[in-house]
Amino acid sequence: MSPKVLSPGVPRHVAIIMDGNGRWARQRGKPRLYGHRAGAESLRAVLRACRDHGVEFLTVYAFSTENWVRPRTEVSGLMSLLRTFLKKDERELHDNQVRLRVTGRIQDLPPAVRAELQRVMEATQAYTQGHLILALSYGGRSEIVDAVRAIAARVQAGELAPEKIDEAVIARHLYLPDVPDPDLMIRTSGELRLSNFLLWELSYAEFYFTETLWPDFREPDFARALAEYARRRRRYGAPS
Ligand code: FPP
Protein backbone atom coordinates (compact mmCIF):
# COMPACT_ATOMS: atom_id res chain seq x y z
CA MET A 1 0.00 0.00 0.00
CA SER A 2 1.27 3.48 -0.80
CA PRO A 3 1.92 5.79 2.17
CA LYS A 4 -0.97 8.16 3.07
CA VAL A 5 1.32 11.04 4.04
CA LEU A 6 3.65 12.01 1.25
CA SER A 7 6.64 14.31 1.24
CA PRO A 8 5.90 16.16 -1.95
CA GLY A 9 9.28 17.10 -3.47
CA VAL A 10 8.76 18.76 -6.85
CA PRO A 11 5.13 19.28 -7.88
CA ARG A 12 4.22 17.57 -11.12
CA HIS A 13 1.54 20.14 -11.90
CA VAL A 14 1.47 23.81 -10.85
CA ALA A 15 -1.59 26.00 -11.40
CA ILE A 16 -1.30 29.79 -11.18
CA ILE A 17 -3.74 32.66 -10.75
CA MET A 18 -1.69 35.44 -12.34
CA ASP A 19 -3.15 38.36 -10.41
CA GLY A 20 -2.09 41.98 -9.98
CA ASN A 21 -1.31 43.18 -13.53
CA GLY A 22 -3.72 46.12 -13.23
CA ARG A 23 -2.31 47.29 -9.90
CA TRP A 24 1.25 46.95 -11.17
CA ALA A 25 0.42 49.18 -14.14
CA ARG A 26 -1.45 51.71 -11.98
CA GLN A 27 1.56 52.04 -9.66
CA ARG A 28 3.49 53.17 -12.74
CA GLY A 29 0.78 55.47 -14.05
CA LYS A 30 0.26 53.23 -17.08
CA PRO A 31 -2.80 51.59 -18.70
CA ARG A 32 -3.80 48.10 -17.55
CA LEU A 33 -2.55 46.52 -20.78
CA TYR A 34 0.96 47.61 -19.90
CA GLY A 35 0.61 45.38 -16.84
CA HIS A 36 -0.75 42.48 -18.88
CA ARG A 37 2.20 42.79 -21.26
CA ALA A 38 4.63 42.61 -18.36
CA GLY A 39 2.55 39.67 -17.08
CA ALA A 40 3.20 37.82 -20.33
CA GLU A 41 6.95 38.19 -19.62
CA SER A 42 6.42 36.59 -16.21
CA LEU A 43 4.60 33.72 -17.88
CA ARG A 44 7.59 33.16 -20.17
CA ALA A 45 9.96 33.23 -17.22
CA VAL A 46 7.85 30.79 -15.18
CA LEU A 47 7.46 28.41 -18.12
CA ARG A 48 11.26 28.27 -18.40
CA ALA A 49 11.51 27.80 -14.64
CA CYS A 50 9.14 24.83 -14.89
CA ARG A 51 11.50 23.19 -17.37
CA ASP A 52 14.53 23.93 -15.16
CA HIS A 53 12.89 22.66 -11.94
CA GLY A 54 11.27 19.58 -13.48
CA VAL A 55 7.63 20.70 -13.25
CA GLU A 56 5.78 18.88 -16.04
CA PHE A 57 2.43 20.72 -16.18
CA LEU A 58 1.76 24.44 -15.86
CA THR A 59 -1.81 25.74 -15.96
CA VAL A 60 -2.34 29.50 -15.93
CA TYR A 61 -5.57 31.42 -15.48
CA ALA A 62 -5.24 33.73 -18.47
CA PHE A 63 -8.89 34.73 -18.96
CA SER A 64 -11.89 33.77 -16.86
CA THR A 65 -15.56 33.49 -17.84
CA GLU A 66 -16.03 36.59 -15.63
CA ASN A 67 -13.36 38.62 -17.51
CA TRP A 68 -15.68 39.18 -20.51
CA VAL A 69 -17.30 42.09 -18.62
CA ARG A 70 -14.03 44.08 -18.59
CA PRO A 71 -13.85 47.14 -20.88
CA ARG A 72 -13.85 46.19 -24.57
CA THR A 73 -10.39 47.64 -25.12
CA GLU A 74 -8.93 45.53 -22.30
CA VAL A 75 -10.59 42.34 -23.62
CA SER A 76 -9.37 42.94 -27.18
CA GLY A 77 -5.94 43.92 -25.86
CA LEU A 78 -5.70 40.64 -23.95
CA MET A 79 -6.79 38.69 -27.04
CA SER A 80 -4.14 40.34 -29.19
CA LEU A 81 -1.54 39.78 -26.46
CA LEU A 82 -2.45 36.11 -26.56
CA ARG A 83 -1.95 36.01 -30.34
CA THR A 84 1.40 37.76 -29.99
CA PHE A 85 2.40 35.27 -27.31
CA LEU A 86 1.50 32.35 -29.59
CA LYS A 87 3.45 33.83 -32.49
CA LYS A 88 6.49 34.86 -30.47
CA ASP A 89 6.74 31.80 -28.28
CA GLU A 90 5.83 28.97 -30.61
CA ARG A 91 9.52 28.42 -31.45
CA GLU A 92 10.35 28.05 -27.77
CA LEU A 93 7.53 25.51 -27.30
CA HIS A 94 9.03 23.43 -30.12
CA ASP A 95 12.59 23.81 -28.83
CA ASN A 96 11.54 22.56 -25.40
CA GLN A 97 8.99 20.03 -26.67
CA VAL A 98 6.17 21.66 -24.73
CA ARG A 99 2.61 20.81 -25.66
CA LEU A 100 0.13 23.70 -25.62
CA ARG A 101 -3.46 23.03 -24.54
CA VAL A 102 -6.49 25.08 -23.57
CA THR A 103 -8.99 24.51 -20.83
CA GLY A 104 -12.22 26.47 -20.99
CA ARG A 105 -14.96 27.43 -23.42
CA ILE A 106 -12.65 27.89 -26.39
CA GLN A 107 -15.72 28.37 -28.61
CA ASP A 108 -16.30 31.77 -26.93
CA LEU A 109 -12.99 33.17 -28.19
CA PRO A 110 -12.75 35.34 -31.33
CA PRO A 111 -12.29 33.17 -34.46
CA ALA A 112 -8.80 34.51 -35.23
CA VAL A 113 -7.56 33.70 -31.71
CA ARG A 114 -9.20 30.29 -31.83
CA ALA A 115 -7.59 29.51 -35.19
CA GLU A 116 -4.13 30.48 -33.92
CA LEU A 117 -4.61 28.41 -30.77
CA GLN A 118 -5.79 25.39 -32.76
CA ARG A 119 -2.79 25.68 -35.04
CA VAL A 120 -0.24 25.77 -32.22
CA MET A 121 -2.07 23.06 -30.26
CA GLU A 122 -1.94 20.76 -33.30
CA ALA A 123 1.67 21.60 -34.05
CA THR A 124 2.73 20.71 -30.50
CA GLN A 125 0.38 17.83 -29.73
CA ALA A 126 3.01 15.11 -29.91
CA TYR A 127 5.25 16.68 -27.26
CA THR A 128 5.50 15.22 -23.78
CA GLN A 129 8.46 17.08 -22.19
CA GLY A 130 6.23 19.78 -20.76
CA HIS A 131 2.63 20.93 -20.90
CA LEU A 132 1.42 24.51 -20.94
CA ILE A 133 -2.30 24.79 -20.32
CA LEU A 134 -3.99 28.14 -20.87
CA ALA A 135 -7.27 28.56 -18.99
CA LEU A 136 -9.24 30.76 -21.41
CA SER A 137 -12.87 31.73 -21.02
CA TYR A 138 -12.54 29.33 -18.12
CA GLY A 139 -14.72 29.02 -15.05
CA GLY A 140 -14.67 26.13 -12.59
CA ARG A 141 -18.44 26.14 -12.26
CA SER A 142 -18.92 26.29 -16.06
CA GLU A 143 -16.60 23.32 -16.39
CA ILE A 144 -18.70 21.32 -13.94
CA VAL A 145 -21.91 22.44 -15.69
CA ASP A 146 -20.49 21.28 -19.04
CA ALA A 147 -19.49 17.93 -17.51
CA VAL A 148 -22.97 17.45 -15.99
CA ARG A 149 -24.60 18.23 -19.35
CA ALA A 150 -22.38 15.67 -21.13
CA ILE A 151 -23.13 13.05 -18.48
CA ALA A 152 -26.89 13.79 -18.60
CA ALA A 153 -26.83 13.37 -22.39
CA ARG A 154 -25.22 9.94 -21.99
CA VAL A 155 -27.80 8.96 -19.39
CA GLN A 156 -30.58 10.14 -21.71
CA ALA A 157 -29.10 8.11 -24.57
CA GLY A 158 -29.21 5.03 -22.34
CA GLU A 159 -25.40 4.71 -22.33
CA LEU A 160 -24.93 5.33 -18.62
CA ALA A 161 -26.99 4.34 -15.59
CA PRO A 162 -27.38 7.17 -12.99
CA GLU A 163 -26.11 4.89 -10.20
CA LYS A 164 -22.86 4.42 -12.14
CA ILE A 165 -22.05 8.13 -11.83
CA ASP A 166 -19.17 8.49 -9.39
CA GLU A 167 -16.17 10.80 -8.97
CA ALA A 168 -14.22 9.02 -11.70
CA VAL A 169 -17.08 9.48 -14.19
CA ILE A 170 -17.32 13.19 -13.40
CA ALA A 171 -13.54 13.62 -13.66
CA ARG A 172 -13.61 11.91 -17.07
CA HIS A 173 -16.07 14.52 -18.37
CA LEU A 174 -14.05 17.57 -17.34
CA TYR A 175 -12.26 19.55 -20.07
CA LEU A 176 -8.86 17.81 -19.81
CA PRO A 177 -9.51 14.43 -18.21
CA ASP A 178 -6.04 13.07 -18.96
CA VAL A 179 -4.21 15.88 -17.11
CA PRO A 180 -3.26 15.07 -13.50
CA ASP A 181 -4.76 17.34 -10.82
CA PRO A 182 -2.54 20.26 -9.80
CA ASP A 183 -0.32 19.63 -6.78
CA LEU A 184 0.35 23.29 -6.08
CA MET A 185 -1.78 26.39 -6.68
CA ILE A 186 -0.06 29.79 -6.60
CA ARG A 187 -1.93 33.09 -6.41
CA THR A 188 -0.08 36.38 -6.63
CA SER A 189 -0.98 39.89 -5.45
CA GLY A 190 -2.14 39.11 -1.93
CA GLU A 191 -5.68 38.03 -2.80
CA LEU A 192 -6.76 34.96 -0.83
CA ARG A 193 -9.48 33.59 -3.09
CA LEU A 194 -9.96 30.79 -5.59
CA SER A 195 -12.05 32.93 -7.98
CA ASN A 196 -13.73 30.00 -9.73
CA PHE A 197 -10.40 28.40 -10.76
CA LEU A 198 -10.22 24.59 -11.17
CA LEU A 199 -12.79 23.97 -8.42
CA TRP A 200 -12.83 20.21 -8.87
CA GLU A 201 -9.17 19.69 -9.71
CA LEU A 202 -7.73 21.69 -6.78
CA SER A 203 -9.46 19.59 -4.10
CA TYR A 204 -6.18 18.28 -2.68
CA ALA A 205 -3.72 20.90 -3.93
CA GLU A 206 -1.41 22.85 -1.65
CA PHE A 207 -2.02 26.61 -1.82
CA TYR A 208 0.70 29.25 -1.91
CA PHE A 209 -0.19 32.94 -1.68
CA THR A 210 2.24 35.80 -2.19
CA GLU A 211 1.91 39.59 -2.05
CA THR A 212 4.10 39.88 -5.15
CA LEU A 213 2.20 41.25 -8.14
CA TRP A 214 2.24 38.92 -11.16
CA PRO A 215 4.45 41.14 -13.40
CA ASP A 216 7.12 41.04 -10.65
CA PHE A 217 6.83 37.27 -10.18
CA ARG A 218 9.88 35.65 -11.77
CA GLU A 219 12.10 32.57 -11.30
CA PRO A 220 13.27 33.36 -7.73
CA ASP A 221 9.63 33.79 -6.61
CA PHE A 222 8.70 30.52 -8.31
CA ALA A 223 11.65 28.77 -6.65
CA ARG A 224 10.42 30.07 -3.25
CA ALA A 225 6.95 28.66 -3.90
CA LEU A 226 8.46 25.28 -4.82
CA ALA A 227 10.64 25.31 -1.69
CA GLU A 228 7.60 26.04 0.47
CA TYR A 229 5.71 23.22 -1.27
CA ALA A 230 8.58 20.81 -0.57
CA ARG A 231 8.19 21.55 3.17
CA ARG A 232 4.49 20.70 3.19
CA ARG A 233 3.10 17.32 4.22
CA ARG A 234 0.26 16.20 2.01
CA ARG A 235 -2.17 14.12 4.03
CA TYR A 236 -5.15 13.45 1.74
CA GLY A 237 -7.38 13.22 4.79
CA ALA A 238 -5.03 10.98 6.80
CA PRO A 239 -4.28 11.98 10.46
CA SER A 240 -1.21 14.15 11.15
C1 FPP B 1 -5.38 39.45 -13.52
O2 FPP B 1 -4.83 40.72 -13.19
C3 FPP B 1 -4.88 39.04 -14.82
C4 FPP B 1 -5.65 38.78 -15.90
C5 FPP B 1 -7.11 38.91 -15.90
C6 FPP B 1 -5.07 38.39 -17.20
C7 FPP B 1 -3.83 37.55 -17.12
C8 FPP B 1 -3.13 37.69 -18.38
C9 FPP B 1 -1.82 37.76 -18.53
C10 FPP B 1 -0.83 37.59 -17.45
C11 FPP B 1 -1.31 38.03 -19.88
C12 FPP B 1 -0.45 36.95 -20.39
C13 FPP B 1 -1.18 35.76 -20.81
C14 FPP B 1 -1.05 35.23 -22.02
C15 FPP B 1 -1.64 33.90 -22.24
C16 FPP B 1 -0.35 35.88 -23.10
P17 FPP B 1 -5.81 41.95 -13.00
O18 FPP B 1 -5.93 42.64 -14.30
O19 FPP B 1 -7.11 41.47 -12.43
O20 FPP B 1 -5.01 42.80 -11.95
P21 FPP B 1 -5.59 43.70 -10.78
O22 FPP B 1 -6.31 42.77 -9.83
O23 FPP B 1 -4.38 44.31 -10.18
O24 FPP B 1 -6.50 44.69 -11.41
Per residue in 79-130, pLDDT (tens digit) is 999 999 999 999 999 999 999 999 999 999 999 999 999 999 999 999 999 9
Task: Judge contact between 49 and 219, C-beta under 8 A.
Answer: yes
Per residue in 85-97, pLDDT (tens digit) is 999 999 999 999 9
Per residue in 6-42, pLDDT (tens digit) is 557 999 999 999 999 999 999 999 999 999 999 999 9
Q: Taking Cα atoms as reference points, which of 177, 214, 178 lies closest to residue 34?
A: 214
Output the pLDDT for position 3: 43
Q: Which of 17, 18, 27, 86 to mutate to test the pocket of ligand 1 (most atoms within 8 A of CB)?
A: 18
Is ligand 1 within 6 A of the CB of residue 23?
Answer: yes
Is ligand 1 within 6 A of the CB of residue 22?
Answer: yes
Between the CA of 15 and the centroid of ligand 1 the distance, in Å, is 14
Percent of the chain with pLDDT over 70: 97
Name the phi and psi angles at 68, rounded to 5: -65, -20
Is ligand 1 within 6 A of the CB of residue 82?
Answer: yes
Instruction: Give the architecture (CATH level 2) of 13-139+180-228.
Output: 3-Layer(aba) Sandwich (3.40)
Residue 238 zone, left/alpha/beta (φ > 0; ψ -120 to 50; rest): beta
pTM: 0.95
Q: Taking Cα atoms as reference points, which of 57, 51, 53 lies closest to residue 12?
A: 57
Mean pLDDT value across residues 192-220: 98
Domain boundaries, the chain: 13-139+180-228
Q: From atom 1 of ligand 1, which residue's Cα is the shortest distance away? A: 19
